[in-house]
């Protein structure tokens, strides 16, 4: 979805405290019409006018994909983050209007799988909530293993156990129980696919355990949105626009380019999808590649950067933009 793609004006119809840290927001189209249908795993970008700053953060849609009267997202307040989740928790209530993107799915269900092994950590549960309604409807076997800090801090623990029964296993950090990843990946029937969503360390642990047990790459799926890292301020030069744009400590390069009025493509804004890939014409310094899209070879070539999450330190960086 580029910056010119259609957007949807929505009204917040309901805000629910799910846990002390997590709120659920329900959005309906401001014109009262149906929202676009989507598929489990899809996300939307929520635009937030936070003072003079325009924030655009991706959130997974958790409502049933067949439901087009409203969307729901769950947002965990990140007090150490850049401010998007704090803004939603603080400023958005029933009646608030927001602009969201149309849904985009970078984490779709692979329907070729004969069984789905879903592993979620914390707020990483949200894409699976939408996926599981689809898997249930399709009578496709699945099991969910869900790690939370405690039952109190875990979102939707009771609801999931009630809805899905013994297809759901919950592991509580405060009770010292962990997802038994070794045992799980060792005993799955042929044709099983594994999907994981959660903190980066957990996803790396799950994926590396499965790879070491001989799982093929095609059977492994993960969704990793990265928040843009903060860092030292710098200046990026846009050769086609003939502009030099300052990037502040808390700003991403993409946000700075947009703030300068230069249209730039994007989709996930989390370093995952590749849509914002930009050609580097000159670099006197070090590119800090924070994305999970570019290959090691592409990084080493020094000719590509993903401005949604990556930064720069040095004398000058010139982009073909």
Residues that bind other proteins (CB under 8 A): 114, 185-192, 211-219
CB 115 to other proteins: min, Å: 9
| Minimum distance, C-beta of residue 205 to other proteins, in the bound complex (Å) | 16
Q: How far is CA 5 from each of CA 67, 253, 272, 304, rounded to the nearest angstrom?
A: 23, 20, 19, 23
Query: Following DSSP, what letter does each residue of 62-125 receive, concatenated?
Result: -S-TT--S-EEEEEE--TTSSSHHHHHHHH--TT-EEEEEPPEESS---TT-SEEEEEEEGGGG
Taking the C-alpha atoms of residue 145 and residue 186, their distance in angstroms, rounded to an integer, is 15
Residue among 217 and 297 whose Cβ is closer to other proteins: 217
Q: Which is nearer to other proteins, 34 or 191 (CB)?
A: 191
Backbone angles phi, psi at 115, to 5 degrees: -155, 150
Measured from the CB atom, is 15 or 220 closer to other proteins? 220
Nearer to other proteins, 32 or 214 (CB): 214
The distance of closest approach from Cβ of residue 186 to other proteins in the complex, given in angstroms and rounded to an integer, is 7
Taking alpha carbons only, the member of 219, 245, 221 closest to residue 233 is 245
Our CB check for other proteins shows the closer of 192 and 310 to be 192
CB 60 within 8 A of CB 127: yes
CA neighbours within 13 Å on the CB side: how many for 125?
Answer: 27
- Min dist CB 184 to other proteins, Å, is 10
Instruction: Report, in Å, the least distance between residue 235 CB and other proteins.
Output: 44
Strand partners, 287: 312
Question: Residue 97 is encoded by which pair of tokens?
Answer: 């209007």
CA distance 154 to 145: 13
Min dist. Cβ of residue 183 to other proteins (A): 12
Least Cβ distance, residue 141 to other proteins (angstroms): 12
Beta pairing, strands 97-101 & 142-148: unpaired
Q: Nearer Cβ to other proteins, position 104 or 196? A: 196
With contact defined as beta carbons under 8 Å apart, do 131 and 66 qualify? no
| Comparison of 112 and 242: residue with beta carbon closer to other proteins | 112
């Amino acid at each position: 979805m580029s910056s010119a793609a259609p957007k949807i004006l929505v009204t917040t119809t309901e805000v629910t405290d799910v846990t002390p840290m997590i709120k659920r927001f329900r959005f309906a189209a401001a014109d009262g019409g149906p929202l676009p249908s989507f598929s489990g795993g899809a996300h939307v970008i929520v635009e937030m006018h936070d003072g003079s700053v325009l924030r655009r953060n991706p959130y997974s849609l958790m409502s049933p994909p067949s439901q087009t009267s409203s969307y729901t997202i769950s947002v965990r307040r990140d007090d150490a983050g850049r401010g998007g989740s704090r803004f939603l928790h603080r400023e958005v209530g029933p009646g608030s209007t927001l602009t969201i993107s149309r849904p985009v799915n970078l984490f779709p269900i692979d329907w070729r799988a004969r069984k789905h092994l879903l592993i979620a950590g914390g707020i990483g549960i949200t894409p699976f909530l939408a996926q599981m309604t689809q898997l249930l409807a399709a009578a496709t076997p699945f099991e969910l293993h869900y790690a939370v800090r405690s039952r109190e801090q875990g979102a939707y623990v009771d609801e999931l156990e009630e809805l899905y029964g013994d297809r759901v296993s919950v592991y509580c950090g405060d009770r010292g129980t962990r997802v038994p990843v070794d045992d799980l990946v060792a005993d799955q029937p042929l044709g099983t696919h594994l999907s994981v969503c959660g903190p980066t360390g957990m996803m790396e642990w799950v994926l590396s355990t499965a790879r070491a047990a001989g799982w093929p790459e095609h059977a492994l799926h993960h969704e990793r949105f990265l928040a843009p890292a903060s860092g030292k301020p710098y200046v990026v030069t846009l050769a086609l626009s003939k502009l030099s744009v300052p990037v502040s400590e808390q700003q991403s390069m993409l946000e700075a380019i947009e703030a300068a009025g230069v249209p730039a493509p994007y989709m996930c804004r989390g370093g995952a999808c590749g849509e914002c890939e930009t050609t580097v014409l000159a670099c006197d310094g070090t590119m800090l590649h924070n994305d999970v899209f570019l290959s090691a070879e592409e990084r080493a070539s020094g000719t590509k950067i993903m401005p949604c999450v990556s930064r720069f330190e040095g004398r000058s960086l010139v982009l073909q933009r």
